Amino acid sequence: MKTQKISKRSKRINDFVIKIATVNGTGSASANGLLLKALFRMGIPVVGKNYFPSNIQGLPTWYEIRVTGDGHNSASNEIDIVIAMNAQTYKKDLMSVQPGGYLIYDSTWPRSKLLDRTDISVIGIPFSKLCIENFEGIRSRILMKNIAYVGALAAFIKIDISIIKSLLNETFAKKKHLATSNLEAIMLGHDYVKENLTHPLPLTVKKLNKTKNHVIIDGNTAAGLGCVYAGATVGAWYPLTPSTSVMDSYQAFCSQYRKNKDGKNNFCIIQAEDELAAIGMVLGATWNGARAFTPTSGPGISLMSEFIGFAYYSELPAVLFNIQRTGPSTGMPTRTQQCDLLLCAYASHGDTKHPMLFPANPEDCFHMTLAAFDLADELQTPVFLMSDLDVGMNDWMCKDLEWDNNYKPKRGKVLSADQLEKIEKFYRYYDSDGDGIPYRSLPGVHPKGSFFTRGSGHNKYGGYTEDGHEYQEVVDRLKVKWNTARKMMPKPKIKYSKKNDIAIIAFGSSHGAAQEAIINLKKNGIDVNYCQIKAFPFQNSIEKFINKHKRVYVVEQNRDAQMRSLIMLDLELDADKLLSILHYNGNPIYANVISDELMKSEIKF
């Protein structure tokens, strides 16, 4: 038996990070998914992060699995094990292992002596050779090489092979031969380690019972499912990374659950010619009473902006999913950021502002999708679900999505034929309730419901106007509506103790990392309060929270501290006590960014 040099370091169970470097389009996505699911089925909390190129085949891609028995909800930058399957990025991958860690590489071909590190353990396994000997055909050999590392890793960190077997059988239930060949490749890797190498490593997994009633799901799938449950019937979109899978999910669930008794579709998906058309279709549909939505990303919002202003002024509901990606311009389409806050909050020319929701994980994506449709209908205005690539496309462990059969969609002030029959005259934009929200009628329902929808100046009755006073009455009433909206937005989650005079504010995909950072800081003797913002416009409780502290660190994933600006604008607060912790390299944020930056800053005070 060959032995490899294993660094003498303390054993760790259920707490380490594995990074797998491969070439995209070579089947590694299914291998990585298999690994993640196997760990999850062992009852161990996991975090999966996919770093993929804007490309279909041939470019480097990485997948990180964080095994976190403590159940943290964010990535970590401390990589313990790297599986280096991509010669192109070998040097970079070698450098990314933290001291004392492990690097596993394909030893079929010799590796330059220059590429070595003495502070880590480097383990060679001849994956290609094993697969060439056991499989026929180039494509199949490449695919199998990328599944073989699953077996090797299973042997190294003690993943239960029987769980991998049952996962394979479920995945390939209809293609038994694939289950067999995949398992064969896994066992090649597994048995090689068992027969030739020191195993297990000091880093191992052990069954826990922490994933019960949880699922592994991505935010876009959850959002698409949310659209089905919200009763949305019209989805219009233009393909755009990373938002595309929202519509894929809606399509898949609709094809199962939205056939009527005649076998016809109770849904309509339109792939538009561009985002300008997609939002126009959504507005045509909501004008006619359907719940309608469009998934997009920053570039799409830029294109939709003219119609967003139209919807604001003519008061049409719409749900827009902005799965944010790294800007500006084309930016890095497969990297994440929280960079469209100001764009969406004030999208379009003239005085406009729009409600936004900030999901922190896929569970939020599902429930906030429901909230977005309700708010859009009740407020008769476009509502943005501000997800991002990290929440939208990565696999997150979260609680089972649950449904309350008592839920009824809140369709807002829509007059029925009977109600219209009883009123003397209908005025579309008349605020009879004083909350800034007028009553709507839908085309075709009743002769008395007719009105003219326009983006041009109109008076409080809905008639065309160029009169300054009449114009101002309507835009002032829209401000009243904005204050009504403020009270209706989801409340922030606040953890407060009188003892602490500094606090962190985070939102969306930064929330998980912020929570872990707070634990890190406590270990370093710094106690902080916390506020997770869930929506814009901001509830007054956020202002009160900020006022109670000496310093508040706003954590966000963009260069220009957009959330901080938005807080100052919307709550009319001074800049003094609002400090920033910013992370904007396109990779998901991790806890150390927040705790390190905060500690560095606190030294000054």
The rounded distance, in Å, linking the Cα atoms of 344 and 357 is 11
| Among 279, 285, 286, CA closest to 307 | 279
Strands, DSSP E only, in 118-259? 121-125, 203-204, 214-217, 234-237
DSSP element (H, E) containing 148: helix 138-157
User: Minimum distance between the CB of residue 439 and another protein, rounded to whole angstroms?
Assistant: 15
Q: For the chain, how far is it from start to end, CA to CA, in angstroms? A: 59
* 414 touches another protein (CB under 8 A): no
* 427 touches another protein (CB under 8 A): no
The binding track of 23-62 with respect to another protein, each residue x by CB under 8 A or -, is --------------x--xx---------------------
Sort 509 into a burial class: Cβ within 10 Å, 0-12 / 13-18 / 19+: buried
Nearby residues of 31 by Cβ (< 8 Å), 6 or more positions away: 20, 146, 147, 149, 150
Which one of residues 281, 357, 561, 591 is an interface residue with another protein (CB under 8 A)? Answer: 281
* 239 touches another protein (CB under 8 A): no
The rounded distance, in Å, linking the Cα atoms of 6 and 64 is 22
* 266 touches another protein (CB under 8 A): yes
Residue 489, Ramachandran bin (φ over 0: left; ψ between -120 and 50: alpha; else beta): beta
User: Minimum distance between the CB of residue 183 and another protein, rounded to whole angstroms?
Assistant: 20
Q: Is 396 helix (H, G, I), strand (E, B) or coil?
A: strand
Counting Cα atoms < 13 Å in the Cβ hemisphere of 314 gives 21
The rounded distance, in Å, linking the Cα atoms of 392 and 388 is 6
Cβ nearer to another protein, comparing 184 with 248:
248
* 293 touches another protein (CB under 8 A): no
The rounded distance, in Å, linking the Cα atoms of 544 and 97 is 44
Which one of residues 87, 401, 526, 569 is an interface residue with another protein (CB under 8 A)? Answer: 401
* 299 touches another protein (CB under 8 A): no
Which one of residues 97, 183, 203, 292 is an interface residue with another protein (CB under 8 A)? Answer: 292
Which one of residues 267, 439, 530, 538 is an interface residue with another protein (CB under 8 A)? Answer: 267
Residue 58, Ramachandran bin (φ over 0: left; ψ between -120 and 50: alpha; else beta): left
Cβ nearer to another protein, comparing 283 with 552:
283
Are 143 and 26 within 8 A, CB to CB?
Answer: yes
Cβ nearer to another protein, comparing 302 with 592:
302
* 572 touches another protein (CB under 8 A): no
Which one of residues 11, 174, 408, 498 is an interface residue with another protein (CB under 8 A)? Answer: 408
Are 247 and 235 within 8 A, CB to CB?
Answer: yes
* 126 touches another protein (CB under 8 A): no
Total residue length of the chain: 605
User: Minimum distance between the CB of residue 76 and another protein, rounded to whole angstroms?
Assistant: 23
With contacts defined by CB under 8 A, how many residues of the chain interact with another protein?
74
Cβ nearer to another protein, comparing 451 with 471:
451
Q: Segment near another protein (CB under 8 A), from 136-144, 442-450, 514-522, 594-602?
A: 442-450
* 65 touches another protein (CB under 8 A): no
The rounded distance, in Å, linking the Cα atoms of 232 and 356 is 19
Which one of residues 23, 38, 79, 236 is an interface residue with another protein (CB under 8 A)? Answer: 236
Cβ nearer to another protein, comparing 24 with 233:
233
DSSP bridge partners of 67: 16, 46
* 258 touches another protein (CB under 8 A): yes
Cβ nearer to another protein, comparing 163 with 579:
163
Q: Segment near another protein (CB under 8 A), from 95-103, 256-264, 478-486, 551-559?
A: 256-264
* 412 touches another protein (CB under 8 A): no
* 216 touches another protein (CB under 8 A): yes
Which one of residues 195, 400, 433, 476 is an interface residue with another protein (CB under 8 A)? Answer: 400
Interaxial angle between packed helices 138-157 and 176-196, expressed in degrees from 0 to 180 and rounded to the nearest 10? 50
Are 37 and 215 within 8 A, CB to CB?
Answer: no
Which one of residues 132, 272, 480, 571 is an interface residue with another protein (CB under 8 A)? Answer: 272
Torsion of Cα atoms, 309 then 314 then 318 then 323, to 10°: 10
Which one of residues 88, 456, 483, 541 is an interface residue with another protein (CB under 8 A)? Answer: 456
* 289 touches another protein (CB under 8 A): yes
